[in-house]
Amino acid sequence: MRLPPVPWSEVERRARSVSGGPVTRAGGADDLTVRGLVTDSRLVVPGALFACVRGATSDGHRHASAAAARGAAALLVDRPVDTDLPALCVPSVRAQLGPLGALLTGDPARALRLVGVTGSNGKTTTSVLVRGVLDADGDCTGVVGTLGAEVGDRSRSTALTTPEAPELHELLRWMVDAGARRAVVETSSIALDMGRMDGLTFEVSVFTGFEEDHLDHHGTLEQYWASKARLFEAGRTAAGVVVTDDPWGRRLADQAAVPVTRVGSDGDADVRVLGWRTGRGGTEVLLGDDTGGHRVHSPLVGRVHVTNLAAAWAAGRVLGVAPDRIAAGLAAVAPPRGRNTVLGGSGRPLVVVDYAHTPRALAAALGTARDLTGRGGRVHLVLGARGRRDRYKRQGLGGSARAADCVWLTDEGSHGEDPAAIRAELRVGLLGSSARVREVPDRRAAITAAVGAAGPADVVLVVGRGHETRLLDTTDPRDAVHLDDAEVAATALATLHASEEDLRGRAS
C-alpha cells in the first residue's frame, strides 16, 4: 500500500494538537514530506517518519542512526539524538503514535463507522459476530483482532490482538480502499493502556465480561478493569453495550459516562437472555428487548457463546439494524478458528479445540464439553500454560480442570521458563481431584494420546492455544516451531479411524 506524502508542517501541526507539553521542531525544509510512520528501525523505508518509542526492553532512540541509514526522512523523539535528520521533539512519542499514525494514512477512521469490543473473554467471537450483523445490513465491514484483519474476502495477519497505532491506521486505510464503510476493532486492555486507540472515536463499544487476566502487565485487578473502562469514556465512544452478568460489568454500566445497553439474564437488562440451548448443531438463544422476543440461531457451539450472541444482537440494535437482519447475520457467521472448533464424531470421539486460557473460560469450555458427551461419556482435558505470562492463573486453571474426568498435563510453550515447574503449578490446583491426571510434556503426543484413549461417547477438550500455530520453548522467537492443535487432533482422529477400519477389515 502506497501511503500519500504528508508535508512536514502538517505533521508538526498534528503533533501540537496533542496535549501534554511543548513540541519543538528541529530542521526540515518547507518542502519536506514524509510517508508513513514506523516504530521498528528494521522496517523503515525511504521517506518514512521513524518514531523513537521507549519500550520495556528497548529504546528506539538508540536505533535512530539505523533508521537514518535505511532512508528515514525524519524522526519523532522525546530527547535529543545525534543525527542530522529533521526531528520533532515531543513530551511522549507513544502519545503521538495514534494521532500521527492517522494523519500519515489519510485519517481513514473518518470514513468509517467504528465498533470497539473489549472483555477478558469473548472479544474475538463477539467482534466476528458484530461484523456479520453489519455485513448482513448491507455495509461492507472490516474486522481487526486476534485472528488478524479481514475485509470482504481479503485478509492480513497481525502480530497483536490490537496492533500498534501506526499499523492499526494502515489496516483501516486498507479497509477503506477495499470499500469498507464500517470496522470492528477488537480492543485489548494493554492497547488501551498504551494509547494504541488514541485518535479513534467509536459509534458503540462492547464489553463482553471481566475476569482476572494480564496482571503481569497491569499489576492489579483494579488497574486492569480501569484500562478496559477507558473504552467507555465520553469522547472515545458514543454508546456502550455491557454484559452485566458479573459485578464488574454492572459497575461499568453504572459508572460509564455514555448511554449503556445492558445485556444479561437479570430482569433489569435491556437485552435479556430468556433461554438457550446448545449442542453439536450449534446454539439457539431466546432474547427479549424493547421490540419483543427474538429467537437467534447460530452454528457456534457452546454455552459461552450465549452472551456473545446477545451482546452482538444488542450492538446491532444500537446501530439501528433491523431484528431480522441481525438474526440473519448471526446465523451466517461461521465459528471463528480455535473458538470451540469441533472435530470428529460419527463413531469417533469429539474433539473441541478452544482458546480458553483463564480459569473461568476453562470452566465454561468444560461445561460445553460435558454438554457434548454421549451417554456415559467422559471429558478428557489437554491442559498446559504458557511460560512467562500470568503465572498467578495456573493454580486457578488447575482448579477449573477438576471438572474433567481425565487431565492430560502438557506444555504450551515455555518461552524459556522451566516447563516442569509450569506443570507442577497446574497440579497444585488439581490436588484432591477425582480426575485422572497424566503428564505428557510433548503437546503433540498429549493430544494424540488423549484422542487415542477416548471412546466414541467421549469429548477431548484441547485448550489454551486455539488458533495459534507457533509454539516457542525458548526466549528467541526464531526457535518457534509449527504446531496447530486442530491439525494434530485431526491427524489423531484420522489415524484412529484408519485403525478401526483395519480392525473391521480383519474381522470380516
pLDDT digits (tens, 9 = 90+) for 488-501: 999 999 988 666 55
H-only helix segments in 1-53: 8-16
Instruction: Report residue 442's pLDDT band, with 50, 70 and 90 as the boundaries.
Output: very high
Q: Which residues, 6+ apart, have CB-to-CB distance to 65 below 8 Å?
A: 82, 83
Cβ atoms of residues 413 and 483 within 8 Å? no
Looking at residue 506, its pLDDT comes to 54
267 is written with which cell numbers?
430482569
| Average pLDDT of the residues in 327-356 | 92
Which residues make Cβ contacts (< 8 Å) with residue 499, sequence separation at least 6? none
- Across-strand partners of 352? 342, 461
- pLDDT value, residue 121: 82
What is d(CA 135, CA 206) in angstroms, rounded to the nearest whole number? 18
Q: How confident is the model at residue 507 (pLDDT cuts 50, 70, 90)?
A: low
Does 429 score more than 90 pLDDT? yes
Averaged over 113-117, what is the pLDDT? 96
**pLDDT surpassing 80 at residue 161:** no
What is the rounded average pLDDT of the residues 215-219? 56
pLDDT exceeds 70 at position 99:
yes
pLDDT higher than 70, residue 503: no
Instruction: Please state, in angstroms and rounded to a whole number, the distance separating the CA atoms of residues 84 and 207.
Output: 47
Query: Residue 234 gets which letter from DSSP?
Result: B
Cα–Cα distance measured from residue 363 to residue 460, given in angstroms and rounded to the nearest whole number: 14
Cell numbers describing residue 61: 532512540
pLDDT at position 418 over 80:
yes
Q: Give the rounded percent of residues in the chain with a pLDDT score beyond 70.
A: 96
**What are the helix (H) ranges across 297-358?**
305-318, 323-332
Residue 213: what pLDDT? 57
Report the distance separating Cα 465 and Cα 471, nearest Å.
9
Distance CA 230, CA 221 (A): 15
Class assignment of domain 6-103?
alpha beta
Distance of CA 47 to the CA centre of its chain: 33
Position 220 scores a pLDDT of: 78
Strand partners, 75: 50, 87
d(CA 369, CA 417): 30
Question: Left, alpha or beta for 344 (phi > 0: left; psi -120 to 50: alpha)?
Answer: left
Residue that wins the pLDDT comparison between 449 and 159: 449
- pLDDT exceeds 70 at position 317: yes
Look at the block and give the residue holding cell 522525546.
Answer: 78
Task: List residues forming the annotated binding site.
Answer: 41, 161-162, 188, 196
Nearest to 386 by CA among 353, 421, 413, 407: 413
- The pLDDT score that the predictor gives to residue 31 is 84
Which whole number is the average pLDDT over 477-484?
92
**Which of helix, strand or coil describes residue 293?**
strand
DSSP string, 27-55: ---TT-EE--EES-GGG--TTPEEE--B-
Sign of CA dihedral 97, 103, 106, 107: positive
For the segment 273-290, the average pLDDT, to the nearest whole number, is 94
Helix (H, G, I), strand (E, B) or coil at 183: strand
β-strand pairing of 240-243 with 204-207? parallel
Q: Among 112-116, 143-147, 357-361, 386-390, name the most confident range.
A: 112-116
At residue 212, the pLDDT reads 58
Structure letter (DSSP) for residue 121: S
In the structure, what pLDDT confidence band is assigned to residue 315 with cuts at 50, 70 and 90?
A: very high
How crowded is residue 325: how many other Cβ atoms within 10 Å of its Cβ?
A: 16
Phi, psi of 351 (to 5 degrees): -120, 130
Closest-CA residue to 422 (of 403, 400, 397, 405): 397
DSSP assigned state of 142 = E
Q: How confident is the model at residue 82 (pLDDT cuts 50, 70, 90)?
A: confident
Is the pLDDT score of 448 beyond 90?
yes
Q: Are 93 and 52 in contact (CB under 8 A)?
A: yes
pLDDT for res 225: 78
374: which residues sit within 8 A by CB, 6+ positions away? 456, 457, 458
Rounded to an integer, the average pLDDT of 166-174 is 94
Q: Give the pairing of strands 74-77 and 49-51.
A: parallel
**Extents of the domains making up the chain:** 6-103, 108-332, 341-500
Confidence of residue 191 (pLDDT cuts 50, 70, 90): confident
Distance separating the N- and C-terminal Cα atoms of the chain: 62
Task: Lowest mean pLDDT of 113-127, 173-187, 205-219, name the range.
Answer: 205-219
Give the pLDDT confidence score for residue 250 in this predicted structure: 93
- pLDDT of 502: 56
Q: Please indicate, yes or no, whether the overall pTM of this predicted structure exceeds 0.85.
A: yes
Query: How many angstroms separate the Cα of 99 from the Cα of each of 11, 109, 228, 242, 435?
Result: 10, 11, 20, 28, 53
Amino acid identity of residue 504, one-letter, is: R
pLDDT for the residue 403? 96
How is residue 286 written as a grid cell?
Answer: 431466546
At residue 188, the pLDDT reads: 85
Q: Kindly report the CATH number that applies to the domain delimited by 108-332.
A: 3.40.1190.10
Binned at pLDDT 50, 70 and 90, residue 198 comes out as: confident
Cα gap 80→75, rounded to integer Å: 10
Condensed to tens digits (0 to 9), the pLDDT of residues 11-42 reads: 999 999 998 889 999 888 878 999 999 999 99
**Residue 308 pLDDT:** 95
Asked if residue 415 lies in contact with residue 386, where contact means CB atoms within 8 angstroms, the answer is yes
Which CATH number fits the domain 341-500, given the four candidates 3.60.110.10, 3.40.50.280, 3.40.30.10, 3.90.190.20? 3.90.190.20
In Å, how far are 42, 53, 61, 197 from 38, measured between CA atoms?
9, 10, 13, 17
Q: Look at residue 482 and give its three-state secondary structure.
A: strand
**Does 125 score more than 80 pLDDT?**
yes
